[in-house]
Structure 1
Amino acid sequence: MKDIQDTAAVQTQILDAFNFRHACKVFDGERKIDDATFATILEAARLSPTSFGHEPYKILMIQNPENRALLRDFAWGANGATNGTAGQLGTASHFAVLLAHTGETMTAGSDYLQNFYRDVKQLPEDVIAFLNDAYGTFQSRDHGVSTPREITDWSGKQAYIVLANMMTAGALLGVDSCPIEGFEMDKTVAVLEQHFGVDPKLYKPAVMVAFGYRADEPAFDKTRRNMDQIVEWA
């Protein structure tokens, strides 16, 4: 009976977190996420699954207000221009850019991946040889992920898994968040290179995300399609 009760409690906790989470446009600028709480959110990111376990992403945390201001003119999804506020850039406790690896590192057989297999995965050479072949087939035949744009987009898909887990972990901890795709890509790439030392040959911004505590309750109730509209059993 206790196991059933525990399972039911966890189910309720999960659904409560998803109902709590919304795309928070303005945060309470006076409330900051404590270090232990945000460390848990980052650990959820680190432990997230990725295709082939390649972890083709990096998280750039931008906390300095002057550094955030460098994005303000062209990050229209985060600068408050649509609602006349300081936006997420001006109010979030924590602000991140998730960077996607490019074909420079994520092409099958790259030096980066060989070092990754040995140093991070600590795999034996026969397994590395198998992965090189399997991943090469995946890129060239199975999914057709071979051009620089295709590989970067594939890496971005993995970054979105990380993004979702960060936001879910935050919601479970009572932390609000907002994923942000509203930014001009070319200008963002240029600023990241010039001011943050991000090599555009190695990384491209996939998505931004802000965390903090809501300034106000959501203006609208959460709406979604019915379950029978999104799930088909075969």
Structure 2
Amino acid sequence: MNTIIPVCKEHVISAFQYRHATKTFNTTKKISEEDFNYILETGRLSPSSIGLEPWRFIVVQNPELRNKLKAVSPGAQGQLDTASHFLIILARTNVRYDSEYVIDQMKNVQKMPQEVVTYISGALKEVQEVRGLLKDERLMYEWSAKQTYIAMGNMMTAAALAGIDSCPIEGFDYAAVDHILKEEGLLEEGNLKASVMVAFGYRNEEPKRAKTRSNMDQIVSWT
């Protein structure tokens, strides 16, 4: 029997109306450990292709490391200085159908019996072949990176529902950030690469203008 979770739709829409890309945060207000663990949990529970979880979340609280990142992240200047919590989401590159990571994820995390592992890895091989992922490491990274945005979106929505602000960030030098993270020993010998950053905290001021979006009939087509 399916469990139905009651949801207040108005609360969800209000959270989306409230959320905005916060450029600077109130440095006197910090997110509690309980609240940030709640945000991380929504990322952990996010969906991914075949449940492979092709990501890792790096919470950057060290001021020295934030300063290093700031030098190569023009889109995160205010956020790195003021965010209560600063997150880098890494995308996995070792997600070939037959990789040690993928097999371990199926056997030891999802607890699949061997015959199911064999079947699913075979199906994944077909998907990765038809999309050209097995011949192009960049495409394999991008396959994982796209999925990290699902987790990021869920964390940002969860934060907004709790009255916590956020800002997604792509304005950084990917190679330079990877170099910094490699020096910190955070890339698992090349099995991870930076995908996106997201800052969390409490807004320093209200947005200067109301939220604007296209009308529904401009972005939705029914056939």
TM-score (norm 1): 0.90
Q: Distance in 1 between matches of 2:63 and 2:161?
A: 27
Unaligned 5+ runs, structure 1: 1-5, 80-86
Any residues of structure 2 matched to 1:37-48 within 5 Å, and which?
A: 37-48=35-46
Counterpart pick for 2:105 among 101, 106, 116: 116
Q: Any residues of structure 2 matched to 1:10-159 within 5 Å, and which?
A: 10-79=8-77, 87-102=78-93, 105-141=94-130, 143-146=131-134, 147-159=136-148
- Give 2:153's aligned residue: 164
Q: Deviations over 1:105-128 (max 9, x none)?
A: 201111221111111011001110
Q: AA paired with 1:189?
A: D
Residue 98 of structure 1 aligns with an amino acid whose one-letter code is I
Tell me the distance in 1 between the aligned counterparts of 2:175 and 2:103: 30
Whether the aligned pair in 2 keeps the contact of 1:189 and 1:200 (CA below 8 Å) is: no
Pair 69,196 (structure 1): closer, same or farther in 2 beyond 3 Å: farther
Q: Deviations over 1:148-168 (max 9, x none)?
A: 100100100110000000000
Looking at structure 2, the residues matched to 219 and 192 of structure 1 have their Cα atoms a distance apart, in angstroms, of 35
Q: State how far apart, in whole Å, the 2-side matches of 1:156 and 1:67 are.
A: 23
Structure 1 pair 203/217, CA: closer, same or farther in 2 (3 Å)? same
Q: Which residue is equivalent to 1:227?
A: 216
Number of residue pairs matched by the alignment:
217
Deviation at 1:207, TM superposition (A): 0.2
Of 198, 208, 213 in structure 2, the residue corresponding to residue 209 of structure 1 is: 198
Partner of 2:74: helix, strand, or coil? coil
Q: Which amino acid aligns with 2:88?
A: V
How far is the alpha carbon of 1:196 from its aligned partner?
4.2
> 2:187 aligns to what?
198
List runs of 5+ in structure 2 lacking aligned partners.
1-5
Deviation at residue 199 of structure 1 after TM alignment: 3.7
Q: What is the aligned-residue identity percentage?
A: 43
Q: Distance in 1 between matches of 2:138 and 2:219?
A: 30
Tell me the CA shift for residue 137 of structure 1: 0.5
What TM-score, normalized by structure 2, do the two folds share? 0.94
- 1:40 to partner: Cα distance: 0.7
- Per-residue deviation at 1:200? 5.7
Q: SS of the counterpart of 1:179?
A: strand
Task: Give deviations 1:92-148, integer Å, cap 9, x for gaps.
Answer: 00001000001xx2011112211111110110011101111110000001x332311
What is the RMSD computed on CA atoms of the aligned residues?
1.2
